[in-house]
Structure 1
Amino acid sequence: MLHTVAIRGYRSLREVVVPLSALTIVTGANGTGKSSVYRALKLLADCGRGEVIGSLAREGGLQSVLWAGPENTGATRRTGEAQGTVRIRPVALELGFASDDLGYLIDLGLPQYAGPRSLFTRDPEIKREMVFAGPRLRPSATLVRRGADHAEVADDAGRGFTELTRALPTHRSVLAEFALPELASVRDRLRDWRFYDGFRVDADAPARRPQVGTRTPVLSDDGGDLAAAVQTILEVGLGDLAQAVGDAFDGAELSVAVHDGQFELQLRQPGMLRPLRAAELSDGTLRFLLWGAALLSPRPPSLMVLNEPETSLHPDLVAPLAAMIRAAATATQVVVVTHSAALREHLDVDGASEIELYKQWGETLIADQTLLTTPPWDWGRR
């Protein structure tokens, strides 16, 4: 299980160290940085897929996502006015996590030289990567370290480091380049994380159209394989989805029709002479079914992150949605980003924690977090 996620230099997140539990609810008013936390977690997951450079480019490049305020906000808090200061640290976007066994840190910075006649002068460079054991980065706990194009691995005796390479491209993560057990463990964990940020439910949404069906233990991001995912859940014998649908829609039953290999979701409601096809379902009903297929996956990930799952749902569906989230949290670690008081109330159970974000002078902070309650974390240095 993840204990800590640390973010420094990303949008309004000048520096936050977030403690995580089995079920973590991230709340706060609009504009306090909830979406930035969600996006930062996605960037961290992209490191495992070797896609973090491309993801930053799609956000407008490193310059557009960097913290825009002063490096140190002490003077701003004293005077009430933002003022530039002399920089002490390099310009950087830094992300990391610590778990029960391993931790990871990546430091992305501005490029120094992209190459002769290269057009990729705005691509960020990976300045540092660290894989470590325990809750925080320490020299004695470091397993793999990378600085620019140089990477090393700790030797078995723990007395020093053995060189892996001196020619690692600065746009390639060390996670993707070597098959060491420590790197493979971190890489596979990051690739396993799942993110769901709402679903399309308009008339042309993929979930409303019949699709060729195969066993689908993981719902896709766009929900296009909803019928196959539901059938997989039903055949595996997970009764939570059928129970949740019945509770939410007065005894309704899910089924899947197959025509020439194409799967189509159906919902039979009491009093109706025929089941309703996915194309006929209301937007709220379809969105609830999509969340059910995502949350009650037969192959739970190590981490699932949900961004405002209550959006566009009727208030009566919030309690059944919360029940599915609680059920998912018994099999996987779940982070829910929301500003719904009703959803937070239904998720207030043992093992759950709430992180409330607020903004001060443009900086996202965690309410009631002090030096004593902040998880241990060390950024190290280049």
Structure 2
Amino acid sequence: MITTVAVSGYRSLRDLVLPLGRLTVVTGANGAGKSSLYRSLRLLAGCGKDEVVVAIAREGGLDSTLWAGPEQIGRAVRDGRAPVQGTVRRGPVALRLGVQLDDDGDGLGYALDLGLPQITKSAFARDPELKAETLWTGGAPRPSTIAAERRGGHVRVRDDDGGWTELGRTLRPFESLLTEVIDPVRAPEVLRMREQLRSWRFYDHFRTDASAPSRLPQLGTRTPVLSADGLDVAAAVQTLRELGRGDAFDAAIDDAFPGSRVEVAVDGSQFSLRVRQPGLLRPLAGPELSDGTLRYLLWATALLSPRPPRLLVVNEPETSLHPDLLPALGALLVAAAADAQTVVVTHSQELRAAIERAAQRGPAETLRYVELEKRLGETVVVGQEGLLDRPSWHWPSR
């Protein structure tokens, strides 16, 4: 289980510490920071694949992703007694990402500190640098619990005697501790965190336009995980049927479209979807499906994957779906959380209510709500009025 995600200095997330449950529903008004939270989770996942620098570059570089407000927001500013204005910076310019795991009491944490590059004549001078990385065991990064750390290019790992073992080489500013230290004997915590982050799975907006690949026949091979664009949906449906999830998939389709059934047509190596509906003499092919029908089929295929991830993050799954489909979608999301810790980012109160109704049939501790709102340009969690109202979190120093 991931218990806590922390983000500092990223867009409107000046200092956000987010508690996660087995199924976490994140809501908030438009512009509250839900998309920034979703992107920050993708950045965290990219740490395990050496993709975080590339991901920030795609967003316009560190300059455009950093928090644009003052370093600190005092009480007088929050109360409206003083205007927002710049102050003398006390800390370094930084974008920080962190995560805390707690697997049956065996805690493991990771924090990454990204900063501005040193003055250089390189053509890649806009790339952020990895200034510091810290891995710790237990619930907090204390000196006695740090298992591995990187400061600048210097890396060391904790040995069995409680001392430190130095890594033989210096890491470059764009190289991560998680991807460069590959030693399951001396640094098992690094391997464990890397595999955790690499397993995270994200789904955003599936294409359902007239030329969407999911409408057309595609090359089919065994596909236990639907691609992010839904390209291989027919092969993914056939795979989940052959791996024993067919009954659950058929039930999800019947729940949304009573009496309907999805078939997979195979023509040599080409796979395509067919949907049989009551009252029709022939099945409907992919190009004939409505946008909402196709989008629901894609969500059902993604959420019922026979190879669930450790963390599943879905962003606004209600988009383009009729309200009548939201109860079925809510049930799908609750079912997915039984196999994978799930985060749902949504602005739909109808979907939230549908998830709540479906979750009432399971353990009470399964569902957690998080509402975001923006105050003075900063995204905050409603109800977190002080440090005691949020999970404990401490950023390691550089």
TM interval, shorter chain, is over 0.9
Q: Pick from 97, 100, 106 the counterpart of residue 98 of structure 1.
A: 100
Q: How many Å separate the matches in 2 of 1:199 and 1:214?
A: 20
- Alpha-carbon separation, structure 2, partners of 1:80 and 1:313: 45
Question: Structure 1: how far apart are the matches of 2:230 and 2:396?
Answer: 41
RMSD of aligned alpha carbons: 1.1
* 3-state SS, counterpart of residue 144 of structure 2: helix
Does the CA-based 8 Å contact 1:149-1:165 persist in structure 2? no
Q: Which amino acid aligns with 2:118?
A: Q
* Equivalent of 1:244 in 235, 238, 252: 252
Q: Which moved more, 1:265-274 or 1:144-153?
A: 265-274
Would you say 1:378 and 2:394 are equivalent positions? yes
1:234-272 deviation per Cα after TM superposition (whole angstroms, max 9, x unaligned): 111212211010111111011101012110011111111
Distance in 2 of aligned mates of 1:292 and 1:113 = 50
Aligned residue for 1:136?
A: 140
Q: Which residue of 2 aligns with 1:208?
A: 215
Q: What is the Cα deviation at residue 80 of structure 1?
A: 4.2
Secondary structure of the corresponding residue to residue 372 of structure 1: helix
- Which residue identity is paired with 2:214? A
Q: Which consecutive unaligned segments of at least 5 residues does structure 2 have?
A: none
Among residues 361, 366, 377, which one is paired with 1:362 in the alignment?
Answer: 377
Show the counterpart of 1:109.
115
Answer yes or no: is the 8 Å Cα contact 2:111–2:396 preserved in 1: no
3-state SS of 1:119 partner = coil
Give the stretch that moved more between structures: 55-64 or 72-81: 72-81
Q: Provide Cα deviations, 1:311-344, integer angstroms capped at 9, x if missing partner.
A: 1100110000001000000011000000111111
- Paired position in structure 1 for 2:53: 53
Does the aligned pair in 1 maintain the 2:314–2:343 contact within 8 Å?
yes
Residue 135 of structure 1 deviates from its aligned partner by 2.2
* 1:64 corresponds to 2:64: yes
Determine the structure 1 residue equivalent to 2:180.
177
Long gaps (5+) in structure 1: none
- Distance of 1:81 and 1:206 partners within structure 2: 51
Partner amino acid, structure 1, of 2:367: A
- How far apart, CA to CA, are the structure 2 residues paired with 1:373 and 1:19? 11
Residues 1:279 and 2:281 aligned together: no
Partner of residue 368 from structure 2, selected from 333, 353, 358: 353
- Count of residue correspondences: 379
Specify the code of the residue in structure 2 equivalent to 1:62.
L
Q: Is the 1:61–1:122 contact (alpha carbons within 8 Å) kept by the matching residues of 2? A: yes
Corresponding position of 2:307: 299
Matched, 1:322 2:330: yes
CA distance in 2, matches of 1:80, 1:273: 71
Question: Is residue 24–residue 336 contact of structure 1 (8 Å, CA) maintained in 2?
Answer: yes
State which drifts further: 281-290 or 133-142.
Answer: 133-142
Q: Which letter maps to 2:394?
A: D
1:214-253: per-residue Cα shift (whole Å, max 9, x none)?
1111000110000011111111121221101011111101
Supply the distance in 1 between the matched residues of 2:2 and 2:64 (Cα, whole angstroms): 29
Whole-Å separation in 2 of the counterparts to 1:310 and 1:80: 41
Q: 1:242 to 1:68 in 2, by over 3 A?
A: same
Q: Within 1, Cα distance between the matches of 2:138 and 2:355?
A: 29
Alpha-carbon distance, 1:86 to partner: 1.0
1:77 and 2:78 aligned: yes
Q: Which amino acid aligns with 1:373?
A: D
Q: 3-state SS of the aligned residue for 1:199? A: coil
Partner residue of 2:23? 23
Q: Which residue of 2 aligns with 1:234?
A: 241
* Structure 1 letter corresponding to 2:115: G
Q: TM-score, normalised by structure 1?
A: 0.97
State the identity as a percent. Answer: 57
Q: Is the 8 A contact 1:131 1:142 kept in 2?
A: yes
1:289 equivalenced with 2:307 (yes/no): no
Deviant stretches of 4+, over 2 Å: 370-373
Partner SS, residue 380 of structure 2? strand
Shift of 1:359: 0.8
Q: Does 1:341 align with 2:349?
A: yes
Which letter maps to 1:360?
R
